[in-house]
């Protein structure tokens, strides 16, 4: 894994990865609603309704949760959702991914994973857990790319990634990203407003 991958992400060809602000949870909802039924099923491990997705998206920035989006023209086209474990499992966090069909196979989820691993490192988590369906070979390939140990549990594949301990580079790169998050959020809002107005 490269140092860039350990420390965060980078600007990609057509979009930009950044943290989702609490005020932007509707962008996560809109992204998840755009997933086709198969992708929804793979993301949540079962079929889910629009109402379930809306409720789920409201928790995007609840305490400890961090959501990263791959933004194109102000809209989210891929996400990684990082959720700390329960009080019983304080050194575990979970992560889940989704990328809209026109954007798959461009390395977006792989880049999002590096950002999430940095988040886990900087918060002292010892295990980053990803649960997916056994037939989800792509997701398992991404987990293996980051050194995950994969096991089958209760009919699902559970990938356990052990993040390295935080270091100067991982901390500084996250600090540097914060002001950029707000700057890009403002740009993204402007793009959405422009897109909504028919000039």
Ligand X SMILES: CC(C)(COP(=O)(O)OP(=O)(O)OC[C@H]1O[C@@H](n2cnc3c(N)ncnc32)[C@H](O)[C@@H]1OP(=O)(O)O)[C@@H](O)C(=O)NCCC(=O)NCCS
User: Footprint of ligand X on this chain (CB under 6 A)?
Assistant: 39, 42-43, 78, 96-99, 104-110, 132, 136-139, 141-142, 145
* CB closer to ligand X out of 49 and 105: 105
What's the closest the beta carbon of residue 93 comes to ligand X, in angstroms? 13
* CB closer to ligand X out of 39 and 166: 39
The Cα-based distances of 198 to 34, 169, 191, 193, 195 in angstroms read 23, 44, 12, 10, 7
* CB closer to ligand X out of 5 and 19: 5
What's the closest the beta carbon of residue 2 comes to ligand X, in angstroms? 13
What's the closest the beta carbon of residue 109 comes to ligand X, in angstroms? 3
* CB closer to ligand X out of 158 and 166: 158
Buried b (16+ CB within 10 A) or exposed e, 44-70: beeebeeeebeebbeebbeeeebbbbb
Query: On the CB side of 35, how many CA atoms lie within 13 Å of its CA?
Result: 25
């Amino acid at each position: 894994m490269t140092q860039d991958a350990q420390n965060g992400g980078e600007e990609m060809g057509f979009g930009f990865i950044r943290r989702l602000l609490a005020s932007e949870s509707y962008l996560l909802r809109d992204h998840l609603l755009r997933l086709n039924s198969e992708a929804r099923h793979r993301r949540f491990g079962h079929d889910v309704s629009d109402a379930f997705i809306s409720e789920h998206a409201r928790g995007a920035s609840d305490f400890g949760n961090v959501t990263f989006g791959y933004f194109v023209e102000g809209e989210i086209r891929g996400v990684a959702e990082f959720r700390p474990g329960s009080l019983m499992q304080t050194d575990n966090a979970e992560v889940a991914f989704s990328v809209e069909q026109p954007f798959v196979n461009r390395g977006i989820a792989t880049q999002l994973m590096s950002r999430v691993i940095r988040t886990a490192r900087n918060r002292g988590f010892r295990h980053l857990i990803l649960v997916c369906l056994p037939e989800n070979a792509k997701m398992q390939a991404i987990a293996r790319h980051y050194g995950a140990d994969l096991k089958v549990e209760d009919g699902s594949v559970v990938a356990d990634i052990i993040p390295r301990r935080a270091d100067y580079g991982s901390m500084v790169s996250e600090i540097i990203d914060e002001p950029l998050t707000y700057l890009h959020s403002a740009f993204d809002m402007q793009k959405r407003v422009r897109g909504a107005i028919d000039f």
